[in-house]
């Protein structure tokens, strides 16, 4: 179980050529994580004056906001239950280090609103390197749709969830 209080810190550094971020966190379940940039390149166009899910789903419901979820990094949290995730993203699709769910990636490093999402993918799969890379490198890596587990299903096939997020305003 995750405690609801503040469990870490994050910061974002912006230049005209890229953004870089760091998230330090504690009190996470042991397992594999992926970290995602959710970039609102034109945050002034977000609905209701706030950027969020209603601007993304179904992708993208507010195209003027120029939303783009992009893989940042991945890693494993061990018995100390602490994690440190760092990443850098340059401008354009070619600068993305992995999966771009939709959109043009980062186009406005100085003016974009950037959300950083930490996603849990379950226990590590050391015995299967391809599976482990999928857990750390893709949004759905070894996730199951919520409520799809049968009574006889291996408990390591739990649904993914996002235990932490940070928002960085332009």
Of the CA atoms within 13 Å of residue 49, those in its CB half-sphere come to: 0
Report, as an integer, the average pLDDT of 95-119.
95
pLDDT tens readout for residues 10-41? 999 999 999 999 999 988 999 999 999 999 99
Distances (CA, A) of 119 to 30, 36, 115, 159: 12, 8, 13, 11
What radius of gyration, in Å, describes the C-alpha atoms of the chain?
A: 16
- Rounded to 10 degrees, what is the CA torsion of 139, 112, 22, 14? 140
**93 near 60, Cβ under 8 Å?**
no
**Nearest-angstrom CA–CA distance, 165 and 106:** 18
**Nearest-angstrom CA–CA distance, 81 and 120:** 12
Measured in whole angstroms, the distance separating CA 118 from the mean position of its chain's CA atoms is 5
**Nearest-angstrom CA–CA distance, 27 and 23:** 13
Predicted local distance difference test score (pLDDT) of residue 62: 82
pLDDT higher than threshold 80 for residue 65: yes
Using pLDDT thresholds of 50, 70 and 90, give the confidence band for residue 149: very low
Predicted local distance difference test score (pLDDT) of residue 155: 47
The domain ranges of the chain are 8-168
Q: What is the DSSP letter of 157?
A: G
Nearest to 114 by CA among 157, 167, 42: 167
């Amino acid at each position: 179980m995750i405690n609801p209080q503040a469990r870490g810190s994050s910061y974002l550094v912006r230049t005209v050529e890229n953004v870089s971020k760091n998230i330090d966190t504690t009190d996470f379940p042991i397992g594999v994580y992926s970290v995602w940039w959710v970039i609102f390149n034109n945050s002034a166009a977000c609905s209701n004056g706030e950027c969020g899910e209603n601007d993304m789903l179904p992708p993208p419901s507010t195209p003027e906001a120029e939303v783009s979820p992009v893989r940042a990094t991945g890693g494993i949290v061990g018995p100390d239950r602490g994690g440190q995730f760092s990443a850098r993203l340059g401008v354009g699709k070619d600068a993305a280090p992995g999966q771009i769910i939709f959109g043009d990636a980062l186009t406005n490093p100085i003016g974009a609103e950037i959300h950083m999402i930490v996603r849990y993918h379950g226990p590590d799969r050391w015995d299967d390197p391809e599976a482990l890379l999928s857990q750390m490198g893709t949004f759905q890596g070894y996730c199951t749709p919520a409520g799809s587990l049968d009574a006889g299903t291996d408990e390591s096939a739990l649904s993914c969830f996002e235990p932490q997020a940070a928002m960085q305003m332009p």
